[in-house]
Structure 1
Amino acid sequence: MTPTDRSVPPWTPVVSPADARARDTVDPTPRRVVTWVAVVAVVVIVAVIVAALVAARRLAETESVRDAADRADRIADVLVQPELTDALLSGDPGATAAVDAVVRDHVLSDSIVRVKIWDADGRIVWSDEPRLVGQRFGLADDELEALGGAGVDAEVSDLDAPENAYERGEGKLLETYRSVRTAEGTPLLFEVYFRYDEVLQRSGQLWQGFAGIAVGSVVVVLALLAPVLWRLLAALRSARVQREALLTRALEASADERRRIAGTLHDGVVQDLVATSLALSAEGAAARRRGDAGTADGLDTVAGSVRSGIGGLRTLLVDIYPPNLEHAGLASALDDLATATRARGVATTVAISGDLRLDADAERLVHRVVQECLVNVVKHAGASAATVTVEAATASAGATTAGRPSGQAGPRRVVVTVSDDGRGFDPATVDHAPHGHFGLRLVTDAVRDAGAALDLATSPGRGTRWRLTVAAS
């Protein structure tokens, strides 16, 4: 089976450009954090204001009902009770006229539409509506409690009740009642009916005051919290900048350290070994000229071992730091990787075609992916041959992509394929790579960070193909 065997299974996505967008939703930027905070703040503020306004409305209505009850209480104490006598209970004209004059001149108004005075038996002994006088209705429990001196009570009138037959044309009413006494001490029930519109109007006035206080309090709290939030966001931005700077310095330090190690090995140990190899070869040749074949063979063997070690060190230098990627370009760097792979017993070819036009970051990504794939070919695949192809491409001419009509070429891309004829593996294990495949996890993270795509085609016994797709510059 060859690296280009058509029996290799179809591609399975390992990393797609959408993975980078999905990661951003998990690892939000400061702008997203600000947006989230703003949305949550708006929702909380609206909820607080709505709750405050509803509570203020209920409180205002409660206060307006209490105001009506207090008003009825003062009317009873100041105006009505001083005019009450037991003669009113028997319908005495003088007693009736005295109460009638006070109520009609000082009580009835646009807001008060009805007044009733009851005795303990539920008989209406006086009302501004003459048709009610003398009629008897049962008193409810709360009215009996009020009659017993339990204070002032207020409730919305039940206009369907028989005693309220003459108030039904007045709209919604609030009735308040309390106990009063005649001059002789007889308890009576004094009842006043207020227009509920007046209650609502008063409630609206109170609500405006309560609402202003509630909304103003929220605004003040927000004004006090705004500097704190601003400092937190500034700290978040600063921490993000510092983290990115630390990561950048760490990467730069890693690259500098690899460059230093590679330079030290190349200029020190490798050169010393080259000199040792040359010296051994020269001594072997001299021994052979002297006729000492045994010594010459031994020196040649040692010189060969030293040259083999030099080859291994140079392969290691390519793995540690590929200088050709920076100075000679991607093609030379990939050739170096192929050379190192061939030195480990895997016949490796590199084919580069087309105008690649990759920026420095994309070239580093391509090199890193190819390097890791070839390392896996040597360590895990058990392959005899591998192929690296790099070619420029565009989206399929007949494909339909977002925002582009079918038939137009897509954006330029570079497709890198690394294939081998090794043992292959189950692609489902990629997400659960063992310790030996840690480099593969790092590669997938790098591809995801770059917004590129990485696909895999493999199965046990059928070789492996990796395909990296990056956008061209």
Structure 2
Amino acid sequence: MALLRPADPLPDGVRRSALRRFLLWTLAALVLVGVGTVLLARPLASQMALSDAAVRGSGLARAVVAPLVDQRVRAGEPGATGTLDYLLRSRMKDGSIVHMKIWTHEGRVLWSDETDLIGHVFPLDPDVSELFGSENVTAAVSDLSKAENAEERGSGELLEVYAGLHDAEGVPLVFESYWTADPLHEDEAALLGRLALLGLGSLILFAIMVLPLAVSMARRVERGEADRSRMLRHALSASDLERRRIADDLHDGVLQDLAGFGYLMGSLVHDLPPDAARARTVVGELSAGLKRDAEGLRSLMTDIYPADLAQGGLVPAVEGLADQARSSGLAVEVDLDPELERAGLPMAQVVYRSVREGLRNVFKHAEASSVQLRARVVGHHVVVSVRDDGVGPRDPAGLPPRVGTTGSGPGHGHVGLHLLRDTVRDLGGDLVLGAAQGGGAVLTVTVPKAFADTWVGQASVSDRAGRPSRGRPRRAARARIRPRG
């Protein structure tokens, strides 16, 4: 039974990748929560500041302005607004109120801290006109674009409050006040701090709590990847082992029997009577057929026997395939990345099989005179290409869909490539057959380096199965490529 030596431990790349994704998503969530907090805090702070300004503006209108406005104030008699003027200007000293006005329903400024505006008439907005005769209040961030706001434009952002009221004699008026926006910014900063503490703090706490779970899940994923990689490596090695066993069976069983039958036929010819010409002819044909079959089985045996990649290495094995192709009249150029010397047995098996199957495809279908064999390490992948100058693929789309092993459909004759593609896709790679630039075909096999956890280490399969041979001892046959059909 063939033995597979323990592989080196898997690097923790899968775990690092999973944790990196977890941290990146956590950071993205923190950014989203932070942006959402900022976007949410501004309108909430504005709503709170406007609500506070509306309450204070309405209270000022009802508690101070309404009792102090009468017929004399409305008529503009001298000295009638003394008390009103004193109280309202005193209220402005703390800086929370920037400007104030009292409006009549005609749009006339009855009183203002800006004395130049008193007595002037300005058009009123519909929402302000609706306040006359009611106790309603409206508040908004003022744009200061109206004519009566000329004096306020240098005060920066202000909160504009309109409060409907009735004076001491029941005449409807509107009291307008402009409040500084400092409370808005203070509320915004306070909300940002509280929401950030609640949102970001909760998210960070949640991330800390689920981090052990993320690490545990990453380890499970890593173990799953390790098991999958191990099974794939065993499958590759098992395939080579089966090839060796089949070659052993052919050599020690059927091939030996055919050789014995051939000798027996030779002896039978000498035992036939001289006048048995017909029998001699039949026996001669049988003997020649047995010899042809024996040669065919011997050729098949050496064809399926895998190269000893564990001992000889990848480069000599590929050079051996190239030499066999050259002996058949094909010009072969080999270009192997020196870094592939560090590849472990699983990767070497994939590269070798890709080159071997590519050469077989060239011999059988390409009608080519030259072929280029390349294997390069590109980033985190190994890319193997077999390019020829032949007739190119029959199907412009590349490798046709797989069909049965018999028949003459478009997929017939590419069973080896289909099997190789299935293996490569199981490893996380892909196989593509397409037309080469300038003519011919190019077979490209891409395999991720990560599947072979022995990229730096070593692994090997024992050379022979531990069972007795029915024939005499023999030297291991070399895998070779031969033209078919």
Please report the TM-score for the alignment, with normalisation by the length of structure 2.
0.63
Deviates more, 1:205-214 or 1:139-148: 205-214
The 3 A distance-change label for structure 1 pair 214 and 92 is farther
Residues 145-177 of structure 1, C-alpha deviation per residue, up to 9 Å, x if partnerless?
Answer: 222326211234454644345545544432212
The 3 A distance-change label for structure 1 pair 39 and 291 is same
**Residue 67 of structure 1 pairs with residue 33 of structure 2:** no
Deviation, 1:53, is 0.9
Cα distance in 2 between the residues matched to 1:388 and 1:171: 79
The 3 A distance-change label for structure 1 pair 308 and 332 is farther
**Residue 203 of structure 1 pairs with residue 180 of structure 2:** no
1:22: which partner in 2? none
Residues 289-330 of structure 1, C-alpha deviation per residue, up to 9 Å, x if partnerless?
Answer: x75764566544433332322222112212222467777888
1:163: which partner in 2? 148
Cα distance in 2 between the residues matched to 1:419 and 1:120: 95
Residues 104-142 of structure 1, C-alpha deviation per residue, up to 9 Å, x if partnerless?
Answer: 445642111333223333333334444444444343322
Deviates more, 1:202-211 or 1:371-380: 371-380
Deviates more, 1:215-224 or 1:250-259: 215-224
Q: Is the CA contact 2:66–2:167 (under 8 Å) kept in the aligned structure 1?
A: yes
Cα distance in 2 between the residues matched to 1:432 and 1:324: 32
Residues 366-385 of structure 1, C-alpha deviation per residue, up to 9 Å, x if partnerless?
Answer: 764664466446644679xx
Deviation, 1:271, is 2.1
Please tell me the residue identity of whatever aligns with 2:252: D
Cα distance in 2 between the residues matched to 1:378 and 1:240: 37
Q: Is the CA contact 1:72–1:177 (under 8 Å) kept in the aligned structure 2?
A: yes
Deviation, 1:225, is 5.9
Q: Equivalent residue of 1:146, what SS? A: coil
Cα distance in 2 between the residues matched to 1:182 and 1:134: 18
Cα distance in 1 between the residues matched to 2:126 and 2:321: 102
The 3 A distance-change label for structure 1 pair 187 and 223 is farther
1:412: which partner in 2? none
Deviates more, 1:176-185 or 1:208-217: 208-217
Q: Is the CA contact 1:116–1:190 (under 8 Å) kept in the aligned structure 2?
A: yes
Deviation, 1:217, is 4.7
Cα distance in 1 between the residues matched to 2:164 and 2:238: 92
Residues 414-455 of structure 1, C-alpha deviation per residue, up to 9 Å, x if partnerless?
Answer: x999999xxx41368586245213435667997x9799xx99
Please tell me the residue identity of whatever aligns with 1:115: M
The 3 A distance-change label for structure 1 pair 334 and 224 is closer
**Residue 437 of structure 1 pairs with residue 403 of structure 2:** no
Q: Is the CA contact 2:398–2:435 (under 8 Å) kept in the aligned structure 1?
A: no
**Residue 307 of structure 1 pairs with residue 291 of structure 2:** yes
Cα distance in 1 between the residues matched to 2:439 and 2:73: 109
Deviation, 1:178, is 0.6
1:25: which partner in 2? none
Percent identical pairs in the alignment equals 32
Cα distance in 1 between the residues matched to 2:240 and 2:125: 93
Work out which of the residue numbers 158, 162, 167 in structure 2 matches 1:182.
167
Q: Equivalent residue of 1:246, what SS? A: helix
2:305: which partner in 1? 321
Equivalence map 1:113-192=2 (5 Å)? 113-149=98-134, 151-157=136-142, 159=144, 161-192=146-177
Cα distance in 2 between the residues matched to 1:426 and 1:124: 93
Please report the TM-score for the alignment, with normalisation by the length of structure 1.
0.64
**Residue 254 of structure 1 pairs with residue 239 of structure 2:** yes
**Residue 194 of structure 1 pairs with residue 179 of structure 2:** yes
The 3 A distance-change label for structure 1 pair 162 and 36 is same
Equivalence map 1:65-464=2 (5 Å)? 65-91=50-76, 96-106=81-91, 108-149=93-134, 151-157=136-142, 159=144, 161-220=146-205, 222-223=207-208, 226=211, 229-230=214-215, 233-285=218-270, 287=271, 294=277, 298-322=282-306, 368=353, 371-372=356-357, 375-376=360-361, 379-380=364-365, 424-426=390-392, 432-433=398-399, 434-435=410-411, 436-440=413-417
The 3 A distance-change label for structure 1 pair 211 and 374 is closer
The 3 A distance-change label for structure 1 pair 246 and 465 is closer
- What runs of 5+ residues in structure 2 fail to find an aligned partner? 1-12, 375-383, 400-409, 446-455, 457-485
Cα distance in 2 between the residues matched to 1:418 and 1:173: 76
Q: Is the CA contact 2:48–2:184 (under 8 Å) kept in the aligned structure 1?
A: no
Q: Equivalent residue of 2:107, what SS? A: coil
Please tell me the residue identity of whatever aligns with 2:97: I
Cα distance in 1 between the residues matched to 2:331 and 2:93: 106
> How many pairs are equivalent?
402
1:398: which partner in 2? none
Cα distance in 2 between the residues matched to 1:352 and 1:142: 88
The 3 A distance-change label for structure 1 pair 308 and 195 is same
Q: Equivalent residue of 2:41, what SS? A: helix
Cα distance in 2 between the residues matched to 1:193 and 1:388: 87
Q: Is the CA contact 1:318–1:337 (under 8 Å) kept in the aligned structure 2?
A: no
Residues 217-246 of structure 1, C-alpha deviation per residue, up to 9 Å, x if partnerless?
Answer: 544554566566555544543443233223
Cα distance in 2 between the residues matched to 1:326 and 1:162: 92
The 3 A distance-change label for structure 1 pair 105 and 437 is same
Cα distance in 2 between the residues matched to 1:262 and 1:96: 119
Q: Equivalent residue of 1:179, what SS? A: strand
The 3 A distance-change label for structure 1 pair 93 and 229 is farther
Cα distance in 2 between the residues matched to 1:228 and 1:449: 30
Cα distance in 1 between the residues matched to 2:296 and 2:155: 107
Q: Equivalent residue of 2:414, what SS? A: helix
Cα distance in 2 between the residues matched to 1:268 and 1:198: 98
The 3 A distance-change label for structure 1 pair 87 and 210 is farther
Please tell me the residue identity of whatever aligns with 2:159: L
Q: Is the CA contact 2:142–2:157 (under 8 Å) kept in the aligned structure 1?
A: yes
The 3 A distance-change label for structure 1 pair 207 and 83 is farther
Cα distance in 2 between the residues matched to 1:160 and 1:337: 86
